[in-house]
Amino acid sequence: MAYAYCDHNAGSPLRPEAAEAMARALALSANPSSVHAAGRAARRLMEDAREQVAAAVGAAAENVVFTSGATEALHLALEAARGAAKSLILSAIEHDALAEHVPHAWPGARIAPVTREGVVDLAALGSLLDEAPKPALVAVMLANNETGVIQPIARVAALVREQGGLLLVDAAQALGRIAIDIAALDATYLVLSSHKAGGPQGAGALVLAPGAPFRIAKGGGGQERGRRPGTENIAAVAGFGAACKLADDEAARVRALRDRFEREAGVEIIAQSAPRLPNTSLFAPPHLRAETAVIAFDLAGVCVSAGAACSSGKVRKSRVLEAMGASPLAQTNAVRASFGWSSTDADVDALLAALAQIKGRRDAGVEAA
């Protein structure tokens, strides 16, 4: 069955250029740590990808540490900063990969609230920085995975630097959608994900600012300059690099698709007045829980998510929307549509038609609790 794919924030389909790069890497069949010719060829391919990832965010290639994805990169950043930071502050809307890991990895962490539009409360963050043992590590994502709201990272960084702190920025959802420059953001640690930008699953990166503290907590091989032991996934890394070369290419076209959907949808758009990613729309079909709505869209041949895809199957309110003080209806009913490089007007047509069908069933009295 053909379907309209409107779930790029969960994972963007693999770009053909990334698939081609992966095929070339798979043909090498060599360990990049080997000193023979085949190993050197694999090493060159991996270092080319490292330069491509670095260029996408204005970083130096030697400061890119490849990981298995954004989750590992976030956890690695916490470990890297542990010797330098005395406390941790994270925003209330961080991804579960960080928010659910922190209570175990860093007990006593403080939570910075957000406004009703999903933007970190800078005054509250300043107060937390005043109170926290110094230096503090502050984690604020560049763009939220559910709402698409873009955070004022440069202003956050100014507060953090005034207190001598470190800044961890999760940019997983931003890569390929808005311009990213690690120096302009003034981030100490920047986290990226391959499959959000049209690269393969199973690859990500922790990008370091020059001189960023890095405590090596794991033994093993000397891969990634000793910062992340284990033989690298060359094929995934190559695909990641190829996808990064195409970052930001289609932002204007994708924004036009998202904006058309929101103009014609006739439903509440959450955080619509805040700065958002050009591809993301979080909306709340009335009188229909998100889990039921996602099934209804799926039966109509449209792929969307209920909040974060990583939490699919868990019947619960959105933690992000709860932090924003959104209505109980929005917290339980919010559905996310997200577009990307492969999206077309036909996908928007299908999404709108499915939404109209769902609303029609509601109006006819055929509702689900």
Looking at the 3D structure of the chain, how many domains does it have? 2
Q: What's the mean pLDDT when you consider all of the chain? A: 92
> Do 303 and 297 contact (CB within 8 A), yes or no?
yes
Q: How many CA atoms lie within 13 A of 212 on its CB side?
A: 32
Residues serving a catalytic function are 310
pLDDT at site 3: 93
Residue with tokens 């998100």, as numbered in its chain: 290
pLDDT at site 315: 47
For the chain, the 3-state helix, strand and coil shares in percent, each to the nearest 5, are: 40, 15, 45
Query: In terms of residue numbers, what domain contains 39?
Result: 16-245
212 and 111 part of one domain: yes
pLDDT at site 100: 94
Residue 227 located in a structural domain: yes
Taken in order 99, 102, 107, 113, the sign of the CA dihedral is negative
238 and 258 part of one domain: no
Specify the amino acid at residue 29.
S
The per-residue pLDDT for range 296-327, each reduced to its tens digit, is 999 999 999 986 444 445 546 789 999 999 99
**Mean pLDDT computed over 241-246:** 94
The per-residue pLDDT for range 75-113, each reduced to its tens digit, is 999 999 999 999 999 999 999 999 999 999 999 999 999
Residue 100 located in a structural domain: yes
Sheet hosting strand 189-193, strand order edge to edge = 64-67, 204-208, 189-193, 166-170, 136-139, 87-91, 110-112
Residue 369 located in a structural domain: no
pTM score of the predicted model: 0.94
> Do 45 and 240 contact (CB within 8 A), yes or no?
no
The per-residue pLDDT for range 6-43, each reduced to its tens digit, is 999 999 999 999 999 999 999 987 888 889 999 999 99
271 and 190 part of one domain: no
**Mean pLDDT computed over 49-59:** 98
Residue 124 located in a structural domain: yes
pLDDT at site 312: 47
Which has more pLDDT, 65 or 328? Answer: 65
307's torsion region: left (phi>0), alpha (psi -120 to 50) or beta? left
The per-residue pLDDT for range 289-302, each reduced to its tens digit, is 899 999 999 999 99
